[in-house]
């Protein structure tokens, strides 16, 4: 059955804020519930939504009914009854601070937290003993997960002021001018999808590492994209050549032809973004285009980066592509899929969401 929900801009922002908070706290049931509402808002049939999210059709109808009657107040799950936690609320807060600071700051000669170390930390600092297996559940309830670390540049301290100025001064001014000029704010970036596939975490039997076939062909499908801040629109152009100033100009011309409003383009410092050819191109189109450079070493300041991660997760992670055509067909289908979900794309704008305020990465 086809249904449609129409919300005010404020209601949409509130719903997206709830989704961001549900993700942050690992509330899977709530994430599914909000996504069900967003899918219906984007015009999907209730039956299709239920199938996509692994829900029964009646559950989706119940979500819709409760949301229509109570709004975002309906997006709450009561904690099931059970034994009280051994750590008090204030102790959990202190524990979180200790974990965030790392094992070395807590006096351990390690760089990585393990459940055994955290069990010892809780015992020595708070005099409370947990079984190691329950420590993992405790951490999950506190919003933690077992993750692989990533490298960040040791120059980040050098750009801390630059980042702060972006969040507190540059971005608010961009937003003000865009509203005043009725301009589109476009966060842009590029992404490569490799034919040899990509690896990711997955559930598998113990002792049986998952294997994925690969053709070994070192060929990639290149995509340029913009996502629009206000509407969640997704503009993209795929090709098989290298990323160059010429291909970037061609993509922007395509977007200019599809729109009539002024364009505020927010980009990183890639050479083909800032070359002499691009400076001349932007100058020639200054009547419609205004360009802003993101702070250095700040990929998380660009929400389209999170879109690329989601596309890769669905399109290439743990998949086998015997031919380049198989790769392009799958990537194109996922690009179209996300292009049809503007509300989901808007949910990627958390760092710039007005209801949350400016948040440092």
Q: Is the pLDDT of residue 15 over 70?
A: yes
- We find that the CATH architecture of domain 162-352 is 2-Layer Sandwich (3.30)
Q: For residue 87, give the nearest of 117, 122, 119 by alpha carbon.
A: 122
Angstrom distance (rounded) from CA 319 to CA 212: 7
Site of tokens 């932007």: 282
Provide the 3-class DSSP secondary structure of residue 202: coil
* Tens digit of each residue's pLDDT (9 = 90 or more) over 224-252: 999 999 999 999 999 999 999 999 999 99
Q: For residue 196, give the nearest of 295, 316, 75, 47 by alpha carbon.
A: 316
Q: State the pLDDT confidence band at 83, using cuts at 50, 70 and 90.
A: low
Q: What is the DSSP letter of 85?
A: P
Angstrom distance (rounded) from CA 322 to CA 111: 40
* Tens digit of each residue's pLDDT (9 = 90 or more) over 47-80: 998 888 777 888 889 999 999 888 888 888 765 5
Q: State the pLDDT confidence band at 128, using cuts at 50, 70 and 90.
A: confident
Half-sphere exposure of 329 (CA within 13 A, CB side): 8
pTM, full prediction: 0.66
Q: Is the pLDDT of residue 355 over 50?
A: no
* Tens digit of each residue's pLDDT (9 = 90 or more) over 199-224: 888 888 888 888 999 988 889 999 99
Residue boundaries of the structural domains of the chain: 9-74, 89-141, 162-352
């Amino acid at each position: 059955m086809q249904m449609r929900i129409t919300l005010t801009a404020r209601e949409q922002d509130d719903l997206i804020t709830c989704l961001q908070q549900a993700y942050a706290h690992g509330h899977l049931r709530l994430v599914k519930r909000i996504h069900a509402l967003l899918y219906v808002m984007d015009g999907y049939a209730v039956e299709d939504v239920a199938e996509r999210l692994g829900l029964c059709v009646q559950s989706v109808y119940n979500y819709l009914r409760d949301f229509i009657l109570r709004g975002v107040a309906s997006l709450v799950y009561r904690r099931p009854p059970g034994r009280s936690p051994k750590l008090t609320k204030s102790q959990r807060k202190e524990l979180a601070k200790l974990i965030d600071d790392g094992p070395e700051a807590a006096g351990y000669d390690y760089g990585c937290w393990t459940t055994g170390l955290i069990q010892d930390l809780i015992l020595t600092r708070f005099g409370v003993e947990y079984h190691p297996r329950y420590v993992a559940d405790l951490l999950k309830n506190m919003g933690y997960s077992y993750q692989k670390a990533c490298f960040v540049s040791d120059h980040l301290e050098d750009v801390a002021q630059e980042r702060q100025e972006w969040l507190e001064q540059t971005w608010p001014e961009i937003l003000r001018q865009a509203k005043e000029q009725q301009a589109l704010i476009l966060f842009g970036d590029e992404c490569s999808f490799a034919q040899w596939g990509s690896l990711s975490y997955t559930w598998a039997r113990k002792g049986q590492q998952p294997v994925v076939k690969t053709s070994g062909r070192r060929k990639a499908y290149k995509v340029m994209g913009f996502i629009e801040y206000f509407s969640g629109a997704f503009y993209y152009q795929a090709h098989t050549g290298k990323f160059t100033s010429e291909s970037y100009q061609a993509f922007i011309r395509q977007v200019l032809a599809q729109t009539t409003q002024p364009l505020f383009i927010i980009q990183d410092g890639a050479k083909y973004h800032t070359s002499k050819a691009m400076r001349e191109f932007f100058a020639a189109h200054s009547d419609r285009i205004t360009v802003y450079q993101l702070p250095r070493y700040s990929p998380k300041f660009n929400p389209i980066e999170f879109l690329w991660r989601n596309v890769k997760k669905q399109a290439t992670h743990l998949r086998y592509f015997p031919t380049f055509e198989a790769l392009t067909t799958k990537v194109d289908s996922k690009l179209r899929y996300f292009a049809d979900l503007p509300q989901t794309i808007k949910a990627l704008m958390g760092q710039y969401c007005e209801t949350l305020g400016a948040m440092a990465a």
